[in-house]
Amino acid sequence: MSTHPPLSPAKRWLGLVLIATAQFVVIMDTSIIGVALPDIQKDLGFTPESLSWVFNAYVVAFGGLLLLGGRLSDVFGARKIFALGWIILIAGSLLAGAANSVGLEIAGRAIQGAGSALIAPAALTLLMMLFGGTSDLPKAFAVYGAAAPIGGTAGVFLGGVLTEYASWPWVFYVTIPIAVFVLAFTATSLPRTVKKASGSIDVAGALTVTGGLAAVVYAVVKAPEVGWLTVPTLSILAGGLVLLVIFFIIQARSRNPLMRLGLLRAPLLGAANGAQLLLGAAWVSMWFFLNLYLQQVLGATAFAAGAALLPMTGLVVLVMIAWAPRLQGRFGAKSLIVSGLLLLAAGLVWLSFVRPDGNYAVDVLPASLLAALGMSLAFVPSLGTAINAAPPAETGVASGLVSTSYQIGSALGLAVLTAIVYGISGTDPSRVELTQGYSAAFIGAGILALAGAVITGFAMKKSRSSTPAADESVSV
């Protein structure tokens, strides 16, 4: 894909600001609804079991369409798809904020997810176009990587402020002025690419992977309500798995697949995507249930619950920008990913000791900081490893794949743990029963992080044995 003359240094760094803002907003939109969930549930009539779909509708659409977003970026040009994604995100934000029913709310969240699915892979492709092959690439990756967890934790705080002092629709409307700002500078600060002469869009692949993922998540979310071994649960789950099998068959036979299956054989790519999948499952589940614990058990207001997680944001910024790149240069990607996931697991196990009559300083703050430290160490190395493991011509698809892994890990992890929480606490739980459910969720998330550390350590060791310089070659 050819490009026009390079941008000036000042515009390159402004371009990085836009790209980091994209990552910030894409992840913020998954977390900003956390503290608003009780108000959304009350006003729109969500049941406790279905409430997670305010999150899952976004994440399933996002994760299911990310590969399509990456393919569109490679075929039509990253900048065009980047801008289109923001326009769709604005439309979804307007609908989600104005919704007056469960159905409209879920539809608005799904449209937001579709817009983000175009933005995320295009943003990573644009970052590589701006900084690939330069000495500034590690710094650019650190800024981009930090924007994700910052967006997650800052979204919690912003959601608290807006819910407390305005109303819950503003957790969706706040995205709109940010989108307008990014669109205003996209044409002048991001590189323009020329459309490929050949290339088609695998619509069937996009539909089957999105439908399959949605069906699997829906079956897991509904299982506690209707039963795990009932006909509805098993049939929906089977239908989702069949759609995913069809997706892989389509990819194997298509001349222009959404995801070339040979890409999965790239050294380290599978290991890095596995790390992102389990990292997303553990981290996103943690903040989702930690928010609910703060509000529903400790009685914190929406604003106080958001403010309670601000220390994590500060630690994430410090570690990702100041420490992680240096530590990776010294110890390698594998060491940071494994140690980060282990620290995250330890923080989650610590959180599992929360009490019905607990307090923030003892039950939440130390454990959440340890978990944030682990996430900060693991995120950027696993992201950079996945992107650099793919051929340059398939950066967009690789970007979509690694983002898909993180988001679908988030959706499936949250779906499973939500089922566990309400299976333990019941439909009308007391504070004690809620605490027992949330404690089980933290243990489950800790197990996912621990599994990520073990699997990543083994997979990256195996990959490195076949490519001796693998660990060094992916340093960002």
- Residue 321: exposed, middle, or buried by beta-carbon count in 10 A (0-12, 13-18, 19+)? middle
Residue 389 has pLDDT above 80, yes or no: no
- Output phi, psi for 14, to 5 deg: -65, -40
56 or 103, higher pLDDT: 103
Is the Cβ–Cβ distance between 36 and 163 less than 8 Å?
Answer: yes
> Which of 7-16, 77-86, 182-191 has the weakest average pLDDT?
7-16
Average pLDDT taken over every residue of the chain: 85
pLDDT of residue 137: 79
What's the CA gap between 476 and 319, in Å, rounded? 15
d(CA 85, CA 307): 30
Cα 227 to the chain's mean position, in Å? 29
Integer CA distances (angstroms), 151 to 21, 143, 354, 424, in order:
9, 12, 25, 31
As given in the structure block, the two tokens for residue 393 are 């011509």
Taking 90 as the threshold, does the pLDDT of residue 68 lie above it?
no
Using one digit for the tens of pLDDT, what is the confidence trace for 254-292? Answer: 887 878 888 777 768 888 889 999 999 999 889 889 988
Give 359-370 pLDDT, tens digit per residue.
999 999 999 999
Least confident interval from 139-153, 357-371, 411-425: 139-153
Contacts of 360 (CB under 8 A, 6+ apart): 294, 298, 300, 308
CA distance 368 to 252: 43
For residue 3, the cross-strand partners are: 193
Mean pLDDT value of segment 75-82: 91
Looking at the chain, the whole-number percentage of residues with pLDDT higher than 90 is 39
Distance CA 165, CA 183 (A): 28
Distance (Å, rounded) from C-alpha 424 to C-alpha 418? 10
- End-to-end, the C-alpha distance of the chain in Å comes to 23
pLDDT band at 198 (very low <50, low <70, confident <90, very high): low
- Stretch among 170-174, 197-201, 401-405 having the lowest mean pLDDT: 197-201
Q: Is the pLDDT of residue 1 over 60?
A: no
DSSP calls for 150-210: HHHHHHHHHHHHHHHHS-TTHHHHTHHHHHHHHHHHHHHHS--BPPPSS----HHHHHHHH
pLDDT level of residue 151 (50, 70, 90 thresholds): confident
Collapsed DSSP state (helix, strand, coil) of residue 114: helix
Instruction: Please write the tens of the pLDDT for every residue from 202-231.
Output: 888 888 988 887 788 778 767 766 787 899
| The pLDDT of residue 468 | 37
How many CB atoms neighbour CB 117 within 10 A?
33
Residue 474: pLDDT over 70: no
Segment among 17-21, 205-209, 379-383, 388-392 with least mean pLDDT: 388-392
Task: Report which of 200, 185, 4 is spatially closest to residue 83, judged by C-alpha positions.
Answer: 185
